[in-house]
């Protein structure tokens, strides 16, 4: 199947021809503002809002291949960051979801003891912000990282990602030279019973994508296919919908921009998709595009872009304020230059 690429310069043409989006905000500069930077410049972090505050965790040291396991709390009242208790076992590309005021973290990659690689894990933890404490949960059935976790109806659905393709050992370390596989695996965690259930797989296996819930359904948007590593993969623009009630997936169309390693959030029934990265032999890029998807109308809206193109960053909503934090401004780094950024940007949704 041919992959359709819609780059920022062609986005308006895409909207005109295909009709799934509007151009509101396109080219409207100056609507983003800078907030308080995060304590350290890390990429492959994730974000979530709980109780009117933002929590950022995980992180990857590109030089060592190792996870850093940070946890930071942002208070919008003081506009200050506070360092909290680190992840019990640091991983990067961890999959997180918020349920009942607690932050759940699943899988991700750790650094093996004897090789420079990413090792898929099946860890499951819950973080209680009120106590600044972590608790270990029943392990995830399938070790993997770079997927997504979404809470719906009292359960958490861990979707997609990547792992080793070594026969019988999905948790074996991976790097660009080893066998690996991108999966559409869906496993549902029930906090009430501390148990897992296998659900219908996502039709298009992917990693480094965005998944979010609106009106009880989960939407998987964009993502990386082929492998986990950007240097050996391609990206897609597919939107697929999962209904937990019927355990069924449905194709819902395409986004305006195909990209991987995106972040985003949900506000007022719309899913906001921001940033990302892509590589091939001719190009090496990070994205600053921001687009909003309305599942009710199956339409897209182009919004003012971020001030800094970035991927592997944390994102979360506080009210109508969309916060993006950290990440890297250059796809796969540059020789002898540190590209992760501590910058924090905020966009007020009208």
Give yes or no for residue 130 having a pLDDT over 80: yes
DSSP string, 145-181: BS-EEEEETTEEEEEEEEEE-STT-TTS-B-TTS-EE
Helix or strand or coil: residue 16?
helix
**Whole-number Å distance between alpha carbons of 178 and 339:** 26
Which residue range(s) make up the domain with 265?
8-348
pLDDT at 225: 97
Q: Is the pLDDT of residue 37 over 70?
A: yes
Structural Rg of the chain based on CA atoms: 18
Q: How far is CA 112 from CA 115, 119, 177, in A?
A: 6, 6, 15
Q: What is the pLDDT of residues 241-280, one digit of tens each?
A: 999 999 999 999 999 999 999 999 999 999 999 999 999 8
User: Rounded distance, CA 97 to CA 106, Å?
Assistant: 9
Per-residue model confidence (pLDDT) at position 170 = 96
Residue 2 lies in a domain: no
Q: Report the distance separating Cα 209 and Cα 146, nearest Å.
A: 8
In sequence order, the 6+-apart residues with CB closer than 8 A to the CB of 59 are: 40, 42, 43, 44, 45, 67, 68, 69, 70, 90, 92
CA distances from 137 to 45, 198, 219, 276 (A): 21, 17, 26, 31
Q: Is residue 243 part of a domain?
A: yes
Per-residue pLDDT tens over the stretch 165-198: 999 999 999 999 999 999 999 999 999 999 999 9
Say if 1 falls within a structural domain: no
Please state, rounded to an integer, the average pLDDT across all residues of the chain. 91
Percentage of residues of the chain with pLDDT beyond 70: 91
Asked if residues 224 and 182 have their Cβ atoms less than 8 Å apart, the reply is: yes
Quote the pLDDT of residue 281: 85
pLDDT for res 9: 41
Is residue 59 assigned to a domain?
yes
CA distance linking residue 257 with residue 7, whole number of Å: 6
Q: How many domains does the chain have?
A: 1
The pLDDT of residue 62: 84
* pLDDT confidence of residue 11: 43
* pLDDT at residue 350 greater than cutoff 90: no
* Residue 245 counted as domain residue: yes
Farthest CA pair distance, the chain: 53
CATH number at residue 235: 2.120.10.80
Q: Above 70 in pLDDT, residue 7?
A: no
Helix, strand or coil, per DSSP, at residue 134? strand
Coil/strand/helix, residue 50: strand
Q: Give the tens place of pLDDT for each residue, 43-84.
A: 999 999 999 999 999 999 988 889 999 999 999 999 999 999
Confidence (pLDDT) at 24: 44
Report the pLDDT value the prediction gives residue 30, as an integer from 0 to 100: 44
Assess whether pLDDT exceeds 50 at residue 19: no
What DSSP string describes 299-314? EEEEEPPPSS--BS-E
**In this structure, is residue 206 part of a structural domain?**
yes
Contacts of 163 by beta carbon, 8 Å cutoff, 6+ apart:
120, 142, 143, 144, 145, 170, 171, 174, 180, 181, 183
**Cβ contact 155:189 at 8 Å:** yes
**Element of type H or E holding 80:** strand 80-83
Whole-number pLDDT of residue 16: 37
Residue 26: what pLDDT?
45
Contact assessment for residue 223 and residue 236, using Cβ atoms and an 8 Å cutoff:
yes
Q: Is residue 3 part of a domain?
A: no
Residues 6 or more apart whose CB falls under 8 angstroms from that of 247 comprise: 199, 200
- The three state secondary structure string of 209-266 is CEEEEECCEEEEECCEECCCCHHHCEECCEEEEEECCCCEEEEEEECCCCCECCEEEE
For the cut 70, the answer to whether the pLDDT of residue 5 exceeds it is no
pLDDT band at 96 (very low <50, low <70, confident <90, very high): very high
Q: How many residues does the chain have?
A: 350
Q: Specify the pLDDT at position 341.
A: 96
Task: Provide the phi-psi class of 209: left if phi over 0, else alpha when psi is between -120 and 50, else beta.
Answer: beta
Residue 257 lies in a domain: yes
Mean pLDDT computed over 191-219: 98
Lowest-pLDDT choice from 23-27, 34-38, 156-160, 286-290 = 23-27
3-class state of residue 327 by DSSP: coil
Q: Is the pLDDT of residue 27 over 80?
A: no
Q: What is the mean pLDDT of residues 24-43?
A: 77
Check whether 95 has a pLDDT greater than 80. yes
């Amino acid at each position: 199947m041919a992959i359709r690429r819609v780059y920022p310069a062609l986005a308006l043409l895409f909207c005109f021809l295909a009709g799934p989006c509007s151009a509101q905000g396109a080219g409207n500069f100056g609507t983003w503002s800078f907030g308080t930077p995060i304590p350290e410049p890390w990429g492959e972090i994730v974000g979530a809002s709980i109780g009117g505050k933002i929590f950022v965790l995980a992180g990857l040291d590109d030089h060592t291949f190792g996870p850093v396991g940070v946890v930071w709390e942002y208070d919008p009242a003081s506009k200050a960051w506070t360092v909290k208790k680190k992840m019990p076992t640091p991983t990067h590309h961890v999959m997180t979801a918020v349920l009942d005021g607690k932050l759940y973290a699943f899988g991700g990659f750790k650094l093996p003891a004897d090789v420079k690689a990413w090792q898929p894990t099946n860890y499951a933890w819950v973080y209680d912000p009120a106590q600044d404490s972590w608790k270990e949960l029943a392990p995830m059935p399938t070790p993997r990282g770079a997927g997504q976790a979404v809470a719906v109806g009292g359960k958490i659905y861990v979707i997609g990602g990547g792992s080793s393709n070594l026969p019988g050992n999905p948790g074996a370390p991976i790097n660009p030279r080893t066998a690996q596989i991108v999966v559409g695996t869906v496993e549902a965690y029930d906090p009430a019973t501390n148990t897992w259930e296998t659900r219908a797989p996502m039709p298009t296996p992917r990693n480094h994508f965005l998944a979010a819930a609106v009106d009880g359904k989960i939407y998987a948007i964009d993502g990386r296919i082929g492998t986990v590593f950007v240097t050996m993969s391609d990206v897609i623009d597919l939107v697929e919908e999962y209904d937990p009630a019927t355990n069924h997936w449905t194709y819902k169309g395409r986004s305006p921009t195909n990209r991987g390693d995106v972040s985003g959030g949900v506000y007022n029934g719309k899913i906001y998709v921001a940033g990302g990265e892509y590589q091939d032999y001719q190009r090496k890029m990070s994205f600053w595009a921001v687009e909003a998807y309305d599942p009710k109308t199956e339409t897209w809206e182009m919004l003012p872009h971020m001030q800094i193109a970035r991927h592997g960053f944390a994102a979360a909503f506080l009210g109508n304020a969309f916060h993006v934090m950290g990440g890297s401004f250059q796809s796969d780094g540059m020789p002898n230059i540190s590209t992760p950024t501590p910058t924090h940007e905020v966009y007020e949704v009208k």
